[in-house]
Structure 1
Amino acid sequence: MAPQIRPLTPELQKAAVEQLKEDPDRLEADLQAFKAWIEQQPHLNPRMDDQFLVAFLRGCKFSLERAKSKLDKFYTLRTKYPDYFQVTSTTEGKFREIHKTGAIIYLPTPLNENGPRIGIWRMGMVPVEKYTILECMEVAQAMQEIAIMEDDHAVINGVVFVMDLKDATAAHLFQMTPSMAKKFTVFSEEALPIRLKSQHFINTITGFEQMFNMFKPLMTKKMQGRLFVHGNKMGLLTEQIPLKYLPKEYGGENGSTAEIVAEWEKKLDAYSDYFRANANHGTDESLRPGKPIDFEGLFGIEGSFRKLIVD
């Protein structure tokens, strides 16, 4: 049976071939090899949708060994830390309230029309006394997962992310503990199939430097080189993301927050069954071949998830 995968636009297909080593003639065979390995893993029960799995192959530039490792870590972390990484409902709790603030958005037009997807998080739009960082991250996780399933620009060209700290306070920043920071950093780098191409910080506030210095050493040198702190100099940001690709609230042409939120509300409704089904997928560490994972050691201050060896 032919893979159930969306056809790419000519521009994205060219990028997939040149940048990700995708071979359209081998795509079916690559997927079958990936699925065959999954079926041999007694501890692993992931989604088996072709569109979902091909994102991991693309995110690993078609290295099957890296894709195996990334998929295993994706579900290992979600099973062990569901409050951090496992979204099963986008209607319960404060999820929709946070989403409707427009604090976290993906913009409709990619950078330079066919480049990376652009995301923005305006931390100050979410009252710190009402919502926790984990509740906000749940919204971000859900949006990332929808992007894995349907955003070919994000999967192939990655994401450019802007963290706007306007109106944020030190209380916002210091909700993120070192332990949380390590978990989110490891998940982003080692488990998520969407690549972060660059992260920009604007309108930085007192206390930001302390948080930034906590996060940065947790990242690989490669990722550290993709961080850009612009302070209050909007011109530095628009040198890398031209103004037209920012939303109307910034003086750009890339949608308005209200329009984007309304469109994503429809997406979240459409994915309600999908997220409910997340509860059925994960890992069972009692069935993992080899030694069990020492999670506390892995995520202690000195621990590193990179000690995990996945065959």
Structure 2
Amino acid sequence: MTTIKAITRPNSEEVQDKLSELQIWFGNNTNLPEKIEPIVLLRFLKCMQYDIDKTKALIELNYNIRNRNPNLFIDRNMEDAMTAKGLKVSDLLILPGLTPERHKLLLFRMTDFDPNTRNSVEETKIFFMMADARFTSPDVEHKQASSTTADNAAAAESRTNLCPDDIAEGDVQIVDISGYTMRHLAHVSIFVLRVYMKFLQEAYPSQLRAIHIINCPSFLDRMMAMMKPFIREEVYQMINYHTEGMESLYQLVPKDMLPLEYGGKAGTIAELKAQGLQMLKEKTAYLSDAQHWRAAAQSKSRWSWF
């Protein structure tokens, strides 16, 4: 989602009341899956500034698009040969910590520059697998609890009492397109691009705050001309092009939060990627559980978004 108005947050009790109302509504709505993680429900609610009706509309659109495109959002397994290949030829990193504006940084880059390794379906599938896995945990990294019984009980209670402050105020994407050529564009599926952009801009339970494109090629204008029909004007205005090195990026995102290879202190790309892959492994059962993704029933009158 891309609405960026200031959020007026209700108090803790009001948030819990809204979540309870949404949980009951979700469970009774046969056009939605059987299950949703409480923290995911909170993400939807916070994204829509705690407006119940808007939150319901966002949730319905999210699962509608998923069920319309199960090859991208539901039928997924990181052990699948094509998905495993996609994980090797690209890096999608969820960087630790939050910016001073409480935004989460995501970084994408190719690792194999052969255009024949590109696969729009798998790249889209992997992006939203990572997002769905990430959304089940707080964005704020809390200190490890000690091994005492009292501290473990306190940690368990904090996980039960969901806090909006544990969730980022939005996402910032950094896209490194070094190595891209016009031949790569020929491997982009227009259909998949359309679905990807619609979901990201209209159904994603986190507000998109900025997009930074680094290591831009000379044909950037032609690449963006192909994508612009699928990008809403307010999102297009969020795109920053960094054509002369990294200094302009450092002025907009904290340098220290970037991987070592980009001048930061967040760890090496290999370390960060290993952490992401471990997260996917730990969430494999969740990501492949149809009860979290497939609608319980699909009424034709309700499934008419496209």
TM bucket normalised to smaller: 0.7 to 0.9
Query: Does 2:286 correspond to 1:277?
Result: no
The equivalent residue for 1:304 is none
Please point out which of 166, 187, 207 is paired with 2:178. 166
Distance 1:189 1:68 in 2: 16
Aligned-pair CA distance for 1:291: 5.7
Q: Is the 8 A contact 1:46 1:75 kept in 2?
A: no
Q: Is the 8 A contact 1:119 1:161 kept in 2?
A: yes
Q: Deviations over 1:7-31 (max 9, x none)?
A: xxxxxxxxxxx73524211122101
Q: Which residue of 2 aligns with 1:210?
A: 222
Higher relative contact order (CA 8 A, sep 6+): 2
Query: In structure 2, do the counterparts of structure 1 residues 285 and 196 end up closer, same or farther at CA, with 3 Å as the change threshold?
Result: same
On the 8 A contact 2:36/2:292 being kept in 1, the answer is no
CA change 1:213–1:155 in 2 (3 A) is farther
Provide the rounded CA distance (Å) in 2 between the counterparts of 1:267 and 1:282. 22
Please report the TM-score for the alignment, with normalisation by the length of structure 2.
Answer: 0.81
**Secondary structure of 1:282 counterpart:** coil
**% identical aligned pairs:** 19
Question: SS in structure 1 opposite 2:29?
Answer: coil
Q: What count of residue pairs does the alignment treat as equivalent?
A: 276
- Contact map agreement 1:76 1:282 (CA 8 A) in 2: no
- In the alignment, what sits opposite 1:27? 15
How far apart, CA to CA, are the structure 1 residues paired with 2:13 and 2:199?
Answer: 31
Find the counterpart in structure 1 of residue 61 from structure 2: 73
For the residues of structure 2 that align with 1:74 and 1:38, how far apart are their CA atoms? 13
Structure 1 residues 179, 285: closer, same or farther in 2, change over 3 A?
A: farther
Distance in 1 of aligned mates of 2:93 and 2:50? 29
Alpha-carbon distance between aligned partners in 1 of 2:303 and 2:275, rounded to the nearest angstrom: 43
Change in CA separation of 1:292 and 1:117 when aligned onto 2, cut-off 3 Å: closer
Instruction: Note if 1:84 corresponds to 2:96.
Output: no
Partners of 1:126 and 1:285 in 2: how far apart?
42
1:152 equivalent to 2:139? Answer: yes
The Cα shift of 1:34 comes to 0.9
List aligned pairs for 1:32-111, cutoff 5 A: 32-86=20-74, 88-101=76-89, 103-111=91-99
CA gap of 1:76–1:61, structure 2 versus 1, over 3 A, is same
Matching of residue 135 in structure 1 with residue 122 in structure 2: yes
Q: Which moved more, 1:149-158 or 1:178-187?
A: 149-158
Q: Distance in 2 between matches of 1:193 and 1:280?
A: 15
Aligned to 1:10: none
Gaps of at least 5 residues in structure 2 are: 1-5, 141-165
Contact (CA 8 Å) 1:102, 1:261: kept in 2 or not?
A: no
CA RMSD in angstroms comes to 2.5
- Could you say if the C-alpha distance between residues 74 and 106 of structure 1 is closer, same or farther in structure 2, counting changes exceeding 3 Å? same
How many angstroms does 1:127 deviate by?
3.6
Letter aligned with residue 201 of structure 2: E
Aligned-pair distance for 1:174?
3.5
8 Å CA contact retained: 2:93, 2:108: yes
Distance 2:226 2:34 in 1: 32
CA distance change for structure 1 residues 141 and 291 in 2, over 3 Å: closer, same or farther?
closer
Aligned ranges 1:226-305 → 2 under 5 Å: 226-278=238-290, 281-283=293-295, 286-287=298-299, 290=301, 292-293=303-304, 298=306
8 A contact 2:132–2:287 mirrored in 1: no
Q: Which residue of 2 aligns with 1:175?
A: 187
Q: CA deviation at 1:220?
A: 2.9
